[in-house]
Amino acid sequence: MSTETMPETDSPAVPAAAGPLTGYTVIDLSRALAGPHAGMMMADLGARVIKVENPGHGDDTRGWGPPFVGPDEDPIATYFLSCNRNKESIALDLKSDEGKRLLSALIERADVVLENFRPGVLDRLGFSTERMHELNPGLVILSITGFGHDGPESHRSGYDQILQGEAGLMSLTGSGPDDPQRVGVPIADLLSGMYGAYGALAALLERERTGRGQVVRTSLLAALVGVHAFQGTRHTVAGEIPRAQGNQHPSIAPYGLFKCGDGHVQISVGSEKLWTAFAQAFGIDPIREDFATNARRVAHRPELIAEIEKAFSAYGAEELLARLNDAGVPAGKVRTLDEVYAWDQVRSQGLTVDVEHPVLGKVTLPGPPLRFFAPDASETTKAAHQAPPLLDADGEAIRRWISGAESDGEAA
| Residues across the chain | 412
287/380 same-domain check: no
Final residue before a domain boundary, out of 302, 332, 362: 332
Residues 192, 218: contact at Cβ < 8 Å?
yes
84/167 same-domain check: yes
129/76 same-domain check: yes
Residue 278 covered by a domain: yes
355/392 same-domain check: yes
94/189 same-domain check: yes
What domain count does the chain have?
A: 2
Nearest to 324 by CA among 286, 291, 282: 282
CA distance 403 to 397: 10
CA distance 82 to 121: 26
**CATH assignment of the domain containing 165:** 3.40.50.10540
202/266 same-domain check: no
Final residue before a domain boundary, out of 300, 332, 364: 332
**Residue 182: domain span:** 25-227+350-407
pLDDT in tens, the chain (412 residues): 544 433 343 434 433 347 899 999 999 999 999 999 999 999 999 999 999 999 999 999 999 999 999 999 999 999 999 999 999 999 999 999 999 999 999 999 999 999 999 888 999 999 999 999 999 999 999 999 999 999 999 999 999 999 999 999 999 999 999 999 999 999 999 999 999 999 999 999 999 999 999 999 999 999 999 999 999 999 999 999 999 999 999 999 999 999 999 999 999 999 999 999 999 999 999 999 999 999 999 999 999 999 999 999 999 999 999 999 999 999 999 999 999 999 999 999 999 999 999 999 999 999 999 999 999 999 989 889 999 999 999 999 999 999 886 555 554 3
402/302 same-domain check: no
Residue 247 covered by a domain: no
**CATH assignment of the domain containing 291:** 3.30.1540.10
Final residue before a domain boundary, out of 301, 332, 363: 332
Residues 139, 58: contact at Cβ < 8 Å?
no
What distance lies between CA 12 and its chain's CA centroid? 26
305/358 same-domain check: no
CA neighbours closer than 13 Å in the CB half-sphere of residue 264: 9
141/288 same-domain check: no
The CA distances from residue 186 to 33, 64, 191, 201, in Å, are 8, 14, 9, 23
Q: Which residues are catalytic?
A: 189
263/192 same-domain check: no
The b-or-e profile of 219-249 (16+ CB within 10 A means b, else e) is: bbbbbbeebbeebeebeeeeeeebebbeebb
Q: Supply the pTM of this predicted model.
A: 0.89
